Amino acid sequence: MRVYNFSAGPSMLPLPVLEKAAAEMLDYHGTGMSVAEMSHRSKPFQAIVDEAVFLLRELMGVPENYDILFVQGGASTQFEAVPLNLLKKGKADYVVTGNFANKAFKEAQKYGDIRLVASSKDKNYTYIPALSPEMFSPEADYVHITSNNTIFGTRYTAFPQTPSPLVCDMSSNILSEPVEVSRFGVIYAGAQKNIAPAGVTIVIVRKDLEEQALPICPTMLKWSTQAKENSLYNTPPCFSIYMAGLVFRWLKELGGVPEIYKINQYKAGLLYDFIDNSAFYTNAVNPADRSLMNVPFITPSAELDDKFVKEAAKSGLVSLKGHRLVGGMRASIYNAMPVEGVKALIGFMKKFELENA
């Protein structure tokens, strides 16, 4: 039996995508083999990469002066790839709005003069700090932000104006709402939350920013290496790229990013409205900064939180335990989570409240 999987990542994939991958598993398009067994230099695989890039470009409206790269090492490897590719003058500005943002900030410090522009640590990352252009240094090579904070359940609803290129970790909300790519120098995202199985990381980079890597930047981390080789410098995570392509096609057929954004707003709205109208459940995030993808919440006690997670799992609602830094529960409701899944969760929350309040 399929469950509703609220895991923060790796997370649910759309059912039609899994069915398509299953149907193509033994014989992909008459090749007599699965994509998992195929040479990355073969024609069918080249077509898979080309189509995935084409569809992502279309879905996000990525301008022609940006490259779309499929790399490995997760978003965490981009925490070091970003400074190694961009720190020409040796300075960068970081905004720390959560655990991953802080890891990115710490990693960059190995390579240059890295300034903390703003942080929301004072209130356990429950808000996005106000950012104005004069807070940023004109001498910086770039500004780094994290658009959605997976653990704490916050998101930027507007992006700062910055004097240097804006670099954004979009791992947990890429393709969930429209973004104007031209506002960014670099966007990167591990695929395992909103796009594909773990293994592939998306990097969208403005072409002129590929030419300023530090001499010590490893060949494999250099965006220009991957750009010149169409993400095929070495063996790429072939199967994850194939699955990403299937997800992109699914999203396009659904109506693209504007349509999934409407659905995401509806799903998150149902859950936040229910929590806000309940005296039993609480979400600590500043309402204006709430994530559409990750919804942390608590009951009146840690014992009830534990009981909630266990009983929910018995009802087919799994992976609701919150991150250890926050406790309580977290419902991750990425693009692949159907409205019915959120409704089933709310139904369970009502029942649990009646039985335990």
Ligand X SMILES: *Cc1c(COP(=O)(O)O)cnc(C)c1O
Nearer to ligand X by Cβ, of 97 and 162: the residue is 97
Backbone angles phi, psi at 109, to 5 degrees: -60, -20
Residue 189 C-beta: closest distance to ligand X, Å? 8
Q: Is the peptide bond before 10 cis (omega within 30 degrees of 0)?
A: yes
Binding footprint of ligand X, residue count (CB under 6 A): 12
* DSSP assignment string, 101-116: HHHHHHHHTTTSEEEE
- Scanning 24-32, 72-80, 228-236, 272-280 for contacts with ligand X by CB under 6 A, the matching segment is 72-80
Amino acid at 179: V
Residue 29 C-beta: closest distance to ligand X, Å? 29
The set of residues, in sequence order, having a beta carbon less than 8 Å from that of 105 and lying 6+ positions away, is: 94, 96, 114, 116, 144
153 near 296, Cβ under 8 Å? yes
Which 77-116 residues touch ligand X, going by CB under 6 A? 100
Nearer to ligand X by Cβ, of 43 and 106: the residue is 106
Q: Print the binding letters for residues 1-40 with ligand X: x by CB under 6 A, - otherwise.
A: --------x-------------------------------
The span from the CA of 90 to the CA of 86, in Å, is 8
* Burial (CB count <10 Å: 0-12, 13-18, 19+), residue 168: buried
Nearer to ligand X by Cβ, of 80 and 169: the residue is 169
- Scanning 34-42, 74-82, 263-271, 327-335 for contacts with ligand X by CB under 6 A, the matching segment is 74-82
Nearer to ligand X by Cβ, of 148 and 299: the residue is 148
84 near 218, Cβ under 8 Å? yes
- Scanning 169-177, 257-265, 274-282, 329-337 for contacts with ligand X by CB under 6 A, the matching segment is 169-177
Convert 215-233 to b/e letters by CB count within 10 Å (16 or more is b).
eebeeebbbbbbbeebbbb
Q: Does 177 bind ligand X (CB under 6 A)?
A: no
* First-to-final CA distance of the chain: 31
**Residues 120, 162, 172, 335: which binds ligand X (CB under 6 A)?**
172
Residue 99 C-beta: closest distance to ligand X, Å? 8
Residues that bind ligand X in the complex, under the rule CB under 6 A:
9, 74-76, 100, 146, 150, 169, 171-172, 190, 193
